[in-house]
Amino acid sequence: MERLASWAVSFTPVVNIDGGHALLLEIGGSLQLFGGAERMQTLLREGLRARGHEPVISCAPTARGSLWLARAGIECSLLTHDGLRHRLLPVSVEYLGWPAVTLEMLAQTGIRTLGECVRLPRQGFARRFGQARLHELDQAFGRCPELRQAHVVPVHFSDMLELPVETTSVAALLAGFRLLLSRLGERLKSAQMSTDMLCCHLRHPDGSDTQLLIRLRRPAAVATAFAELLRLRLEALVLPAPVTRLLLQARLSAGQEMTGSDLLGRELQADSGLSGLLERLRARLGGHAVRGLALADEYRPERAWHPVGDPLGSGRVVPPKARIPGRRPVWILPEPQLLRQDAGRPVHEGVLRLEQGPERIETGWWDGDDIRRDYYMARNRRGARLWIYQDLRSVADWYLHGIFA
């Protein structure tokens, strides 16, 4: 439906999806352009058939009126309110999309058609079936206006450039993309739009494509914002073959990012510097390379924290030492490391001397991943302080889990 709505935008900018099965197009402003309602219906029908749909198309002076007619399977092209009224009156109430309870009440009252509905006293109708139903009737017959949210269609930008010679040179590719980016920039400027995602295709002589997807954390209205990221990605890219053609696609969205400063200007600017940094790091090092840290409400040490994918999202500073059960090391190993033993004593670069502990951590019985460990702070021969534990569920194996210093 989204895709159809996007397609329908070529007929009119005001498109609305209703209930997942109906598309509403406000065509009043487009009739002349397309040569009248009949011609437009023909075009719509051909287009929808080509996309594998068999539509019922009703054209009427009110949105809800045309929707109800179409649901009832009545194809028509009505231009006056009188004509609409005439066609609506015999329509059965079943097609109005009203709740089953309402339909049952209507049936009990012996009301089957819209015409019978509108003959009822307005006050009485509203009291029995709800003000909203009465309002819908008014909208359908054009007695009160209906406001519908226009479907926001993702607009796409797509442009390509044939390269004069086949090349793998980053400088040449970048120069080509810069040209495409400047065209994108012009489009963004004229349409007052911004973009947060670029798809760059590099076409090889055999027709295959190498693709680069570039995302920004915030939509940008200046295409140059991408040039630097693109350069990083191109430098990191290993091309399987020379490139003959460049294709740039972008998803555009309405509105441009506010530039300049306001009362929070300083904060906004500092933050955008940081989000810009994160974008650069992620562009070169991978999407998961940068993360924040957060505590988790868990006693199992390996689960007592979790990485934060969008570290800039949380503006609030959480004071430290909030929920730390005890002294914890600054480093933790990805997996506890089994330690050798010397006469029952754990060894890691020499026999370890236990200095503090034990701290018994026994938890997790509810999810089958339970632990029973005695944690110690231990010191090795070189003076390093380690966080080790004895696994009490096994045969008293020792593990290295973290490092204090």
For 250, the 3-state DSSP assignment is strand
By CB under 8 A, tell whether 132 contacts another protein.
no
Compute the least distance from the CB of residue 274 to another protein, in Å.
Answer: 4
Beta-strand (E) ranges in 54-192? 58-59, 76-77, 155-167
Is the separation of the CB atoms in 345 and 353 below 8 Å?
A: no
Q: Give the contact letters, 333-372, x = binds to another protein (CB under 8 A), - = no.
A: xx--------------x-----------------------
Residue choice 107, 191, 213, 324 for contact with another protein (CB under 8 A): 324
**Two tokens, residue 12:** 């009119």
User: Please, which residue, 3 or 382, has the CB nearer to another protein?
Assistant: 382
CA-to-CA separations, 398 to 275, 379, 387, in angstroms, rounded: 43, 14, 11
User: Please, which residue, 61 or 276, has the CB nearer to another protein?
Assistant: 276
> Among 175-183, 206-214, 215-223, 327-335, which window interacts with another protein (CB under 8 A)?
327-335
Residue choice 43, 268, 304, 347 for contact with another protein (CB under 8 A): 304
Residue choice 56, 144, 294, 396 for contact with another protein (CB under 8 A): 294
Angle at 333 between CA 330 and CA 335, to 5 degrees: 150
CA distance between the termini of the chain: 59
Is the separation of the CB atoms in 226 and 198 below 8 Å?
A: yes
For 341, the 3-state DSSP assignment is strand
User: Please, which residue, 45 or 231, has the CB nearer to another protein?
Assistant: 231
Phi, psi dihedral angles at 214 (to 5 degrees): -125, 125
Residue choice 148, 231, 251, 280 for contact with another protein (CB under 8 A): 280
By CB under 8 A, tell whether 383 contacts another protein.
yes
Q: Nearest Cα to 248, choosing from 286, 214, 205, 276?
A: 214
Is the separation of the CB atoms in 12 and 29 below 8 Å?
A: yes
Residue choice 292, 340, 360, 396 for contact with another protein (CB under 8 A): 292
By CB under 8 A, tell whether 238 contacts another protein.
no
Residues lying near another protein in the complex (CB under 8 A): 270-271, 273-274, 276-278, 280-281, 284-286, 288-295, 301, 304-307, 311, 314, 316-322, 324, 327-334, 349, 381-385, 402-405
